[in-house]
Structures are given as C-alpha cells and as structure tokens.
Structure 1
C-alpha cells in the first residue's frame, strides 16, 4: 500500500485547486507549451516529409535517375542499352535526344527543355504518362512533328491541343538569305501536369522528329536509366562506365537536383532541432512549477515525513505530478499534431480556393501545393523526447522536496 501513496498524492496535487493561482497558471502554461511544441513539431516534420516524397516521386519521376551519353557518335545504343539492363539495379535504359529551345505562339515566347523520346518506352523511366491532362504519348508519331507540353508552358503560350507552336533551337541553319536559328513548327498533341516546376519548362516530342530537327541521323544524345534505388545512382553509373569506351560519360540526379534534396534534408534537421528546443523550454517550465509547488507544500511534506514517509516517497510524489503534466501535454499535442498533419493539405487548398490565392506558385517552387506525409517513427521520436524531457525536469524539484526537514518546515506553522 505504501508503494501507491506517492502515486495517489501526486495525482491529488495535480487535480487540486491551489491557493496560489500563479502556480496553477505556470502549470497550465507548461502543459500548453508542451502541447503546442509537440503538435507543431509533428506538423512541420510531416510537411517536410511531404516535400521529400514529392521530390522523389514527382521531380525524380520525370527526371532520369542517371544518364549515359557519348562525346562522339552514339549509334550503337541498342546494344549498350541491353548490356546496361543486365545489371539488376537498372530497371530500364531508353534513348533520348534533348535540346534547349525557345517556343513561340500567338506573340508569346518561352524557353523550355525539349526531350525526344520513344513513346512506347517512356513509361519505363518516367511518370509522365500517368499525369497526362490531355492527349497521350501515343499521339507522338514519327514524321508528324507532334509535341506534348507542360500545362503551365501551354498556358503561358496560350495554346491547347491542336494548336501550332514554333520551336527554335540554338543550331545555325545556313540559307541563301543568311544564317538563321533552326526552326520547326510542331502541333500540340497533348499536355501533362505533374504539379511541379517541370510543368512550365519541359516539352516532349518523338525521338525521330528530334533527330531530324537536330540533324543527328540515327545518333542519339544518350540513354536514360531508371534504377531500383535512386540513391545508388552515382555508384551504378561509375561502375558501368568502367566497362565502356573512354568517350562515354555519365551523370545522375544528384548533379541536377541533389542540392534541392540536400536542402530539404538540412531544413528538416534544423527545423526539428529548433522545435525540439521549444519543447525543452516548455518542459523546463515544469521545473519552475514544481519548485513553487514544493515551496507551497512544505507543511504537507513535513506532516507526511512525521507520519513515516521516506525521502524516496516524497520524491515520487512530485515526480508523479510532473510526469502527469508532461504526459497530458504530450498526449494532447500528439493528437492535435497528427490531426493537423493528416488534413493540412486539404485545409491549405480550401483556404486558397476561399480567398483565391496561391501560397506555392509553381513558377517559384518545385511543386504547387503543400504536401504532408505523417511518419509514425517521427511521432514516436517526438513523443519519447517530450516525455523524457518532462521526466528529467521533475528530478531536481523532487529531490529538493525530499531534502526538506520536518522540524524546519513546521517551525513557523
């Protein structure tokens, strides 16, 4: 029975209405601080996880995990592709021709990257066919000079499916009238939307049409690789180049989008650290609360000691009180944080629709909406950290209470 005394008295102190309302206010502040700290940390980390997921699924779903290209003629690409696909880490190797060009239509001009692809193989290395807004990649037929534009690019040019656009590439064409940039009219046969900045800077045409435009003959610029694990891209490319001719070169996504991925990871760590400090400050308030409670309850402590309570029992009383405050704040904060993380995307979309504003412009950010991904391992780490800090905050006040001598405490009672 004596083992249960600290637990029951600690709960009683937590529930009791104190004569000193300031102590009650500090106790409530500590609990609210923990609640807000835990909730905000869960929400922010979920949003950062969402950005990380979108980078992997959308941006890196459109951008090749790795590329292998030649500094000279690259006509034997079918044999090279078959050899690459023998590596179990490489899912697919498909050809491409790319060009930086300038589109013009209806008086509007916009620069973009144009990829020449084989429509029947594009789905092996890209998610573009899953995000077609109008038309299909199958509408890209050799010799017809059709083109698929990103949704934002098409809107900027003021065109839709069936309209004509003129593509100018930085290759000189010598004519009797002089030297002019190479130009070709394409017909828009489709539009895609992946919700990223690529919607405004990417277009896709048939491989043979781009070979004709760039006057490559049967050459291609390189092979795009899809890997089982994108984080192995650098190692896989380096190993494959060892068995290839010296004129072959390679690249991977870490060179084009690696900085963005690293920035998201760094921001996640720094924001997590800052918000953890907020939780630590809220937990430290428990120290102030319990110190004042110990001072306010000196008479009660002395009476318990004279009735036979040991210093360990006195210490347990205030540890229970502090842990209850921390547990309550953490539990409420976890519930609010999980609820917010699961609904923040819909809430932000509703606010954007209600006030006709857009918080994330795809012309500025790499995605156009606020993503969120709740990971339970993050939740458990946050909850565990908050509870541990709450427990540690109770040790000094509880130890101080256990050192109170009954005679000193009752001298002036």
Structure 2
C-alpha cells in the first residue's frame, strides 16, 4: 500500500509526470493502441458486414441438386433435417445475355416467389429506386436489376430490356438455340455486393420458368433459420443422412475464401500491429531508466530507512504500469474516435471500392472482447518493459546515492 501511495504522490506532484519523456511514453502507447483498435475494428467490421450482406441477399443457406429438382423433393428429404427452420423460398437460376442500349453483359436471372422471398431475405429493404413488384401485369414481365448494372446500362424505371438465353434444341444437348424475350424494369436493388450489383436480375418465378422452358422445375430453395450458426449443423446433418446427392451452401460458403481470409488477417494484423505497442513500451522502459538515475538519491534514502529491494522494484513497476494503463485507455478512446471519423468519411465520400472489396461499405465493429484483449496485451507488454529498470533501481547501493547528499 505504501508503494502505491509513494507512486501516486510522486505522479501527482512530482516533476517527472510533466517531463517530456513521460509525455512521449504516454503518446507512443496511445498511438500504438489506437492503431490496433482501428485495425481490429476494420477487420471485424469487414467480416460482419460481409456476413450481413450475404444473409440479407441469399438467406442462411440454400439447397440445390444437379438435374431436375422440385420443391416437393426438398420438403420430403431435406427440410426435416434443417435446424430452426423459419421460412423457405424456391428459386430458379438462368444464365443469360443482357443486350440493351449498346451494352452486352453476361447476367444471372433469378426467378423467385416474391411473397416467400421477403420472408427469407431483406431484399425489399435494399430497394433504392422504383418498386419491389414482380407480380404479372399487362405488357412485359417485370424485373429488378442491380444498381451497378442499372447505371452502367443507362437504364430508367419503366425501360424495356432484352435478355437472351441458350436452350437445347430437342434431345441433343450439344445443339443450342437462342431464345429472346423482353422485360420491363420495375426497380433497382443495391445488393451491397459488387458481383450481385453488376450481374443479378430478379424476376417472378413463373415468368423465369416460362422463359427457361422448365415447367415447374427449380434450381433450389433458400432457407432462413432462427440462428445463422445453425446453418452449419443443418448442412452436416443433410450431408450425413443424404450423402452428396444434394449440394448445401451456407452463408459462409458463398464467400468462403473471403471469410477465411478475414479470420486469418485479424490474427495476423493483431500481432503485426502489436509491434507498435512493443516499440512504445521501450519508451516506457527508457523513461524508467532515466527515472532511476535521477532518483538515485531518493532510492538510497528509502533503502536506508528500511525499504527492501522488492519494495523499490514494486514502486517502479507500478509507475510504469500506470503510464501503460493511461496510454492504453487513451489509445482505446482515440481508436473509437478514429473509427467514428472514418464512418463519417465513408458515408460522405465512399472510401470503399466495391469492385475490389466486394462490398462498398463497412460497419465498424468494436467488440468488448477485442478491447479487453488489446488492453490486456498492452499492459502485459508494459509490465515486461518495467522489469529491467525496476530491477536496476532495486539493486543500486545506497552508499553511492548518499555520498554527495
């Protein structure tokens, strides 16, 4: 307790607290921790934003099968094995060529049941223009297009676009004919994922089945579960009981490489940026070495009146830890402020390039666990940095310090 009293009194009233070396130690620790906080928030935010984007667009999982597939097959074979099933929505995928106003692009047509789709995904919340309406009306069938495709093709709501798909000619699968059809643009969706925004076109399931001449067949069914983690358990049960006759994709499988990269990068970035904190801890150590030299006389007096080497060592360790703790807390607060500033800049100036990162916005995610890990690692580094100067101070002979008193 006496060690704490001495350190606290010295910090509050001593000149050492106001010295440039102490200030630089605090500043270095704060900047190092702030860099670590921002980096962890970016990586965690990228992963959570990517996860949210995928689930909003595709649901928690989907089940498909090569060849002809009907929803009845899935209801009998698959759905009893899905954990926490809340809703399902069938879909049909067709590969097509979009040709309009001098633009020719390869696109993916997804035929959906609008009412059921709204229960599985949040696509209606992602509508940025027009109306989310795929119901049959007079004229051409309606479609919803991705934001980037809409802009690149210079389309407008109500425009007619032309889609072309290849269909087999008779029973010969190597001979194809092209089928052309026109559709009306009713709305624009900002999927938040660059690939979807540039390639996806949604239309009514019945219209897609008619266009693709597949009768009542579907590509698969998307599912919404009570918990996103239940998708992994459901996939394991389906594959275990039914083998690989069905293909099961969870929300993580849609961008597996990106999710794995984000998980690995978080660990790597943590340890790489921890080097900055280690470098800042050297400043703390240097400050304590200087303090030992300047306070040699005081150390000698304490030893003369009965202070042990252990108590002297404790004084310097506590002093170093207080500097480290204050610097770490200041760094975490500074990191939070930098994240808020980046959020503001991102929302106003669009700093994220969707064509490169697949998403065009990051929701910064600063978890309590990450903050505790950063604070704990910083304090541990500071503790280790104080050991050498504290040990040096505790071993100084008191006679030399008192000789010139």
Give, in whole Å, the separation in 2 of the partners of 1:334 and 1:238. Answer: 40
Of residues 398, 401, 408, the one that matches 2:400 is 408
- Say which of 167, 171, 185 aligns to 2:167: 171
Counterpart of 2:98 in 1: which secondary structure? strand
SS in 2 for 1:257: helix
The alpha carbon displacement at 1:155 in A equals 0.7
2:217 match: secondary structure? coil
Q: TM-score, normalised by structure 2?
A: 0.88
Distance 1:371 1:116, change over 3 A: same
Deviation of 1:128 after TM superposition, in Å, equals 0.7
Question: Which of 177, 185, 189 is 1:188 aligned to?
Answer: 185
1:79-90 residue pairs with structure 2 within 5 A?
80-81=74-75, 84-86=78-80, 87-90=82-85
Cα shift at 1:163 = 0.3
Q: What stretches of structure 2 of length at least 5 have no aligned partner?
A: none
Q: CA deviation at 1:260?
A: 0.9
**Equivalents in 2 of 1:246, 1:14: separation in Å?**
70
1:14-413 aligned at under 5 Å gives the runs 16-17=14-15, 24-75=19-70, 77-78=71-72, 80-81=74-75, 84-86=78-80, 87-141=82-136, 144-171=140-167, 180-197=177-194, 198-241=196-239, 243-244=241-242, 247-350=245-348, 352=349, 358-411=350-403
**How far apart, CA to CA, are the structure 2 residues paired with 1:59 and 1:9?**
54
Deviates more, 1:133-142 or 1:187-196: 133-142
* Contact 1:97–1:117 (8 Å) recurs in 2: yes
**Distance in 2 (alpha carbons) for counterparts of 1:9 and 1:218:** 80
Gaps of 5+ in 1: 353-357
Distance 2:68 2:243 in 1: 12
Quickly say closer, same or farther: Cα 1:6–1:305, change in 2 above 3 A.
farther
Deviation string 1:322-361 (CA, Å, 9 cap, x unpaired) is 12211221121122112222342113334x2xxxxx4322
Number of equivalenced pairs? 398
What residue in structure 2 maps to residue 355 of structure 1? none
Structure 2 counterpart SS, 1:139 = coil
More off after superposition, 125-134 vs 138-147: 138-147
Shift of the alpha carbon at 1:173? 6.0
Q: Give the alignment's TM-score, normalised by structure 1.
A: 0.87
Distance (Å, rounded) in 1 between the aligned partners of 2:69 and 2:315: 78
Across the aligned residues of Structure 1 and Structure 2, the Cα RMSD in angstroms comes to 2.8
Secondary structure, counterpart of 2:120 in structure 1: coil
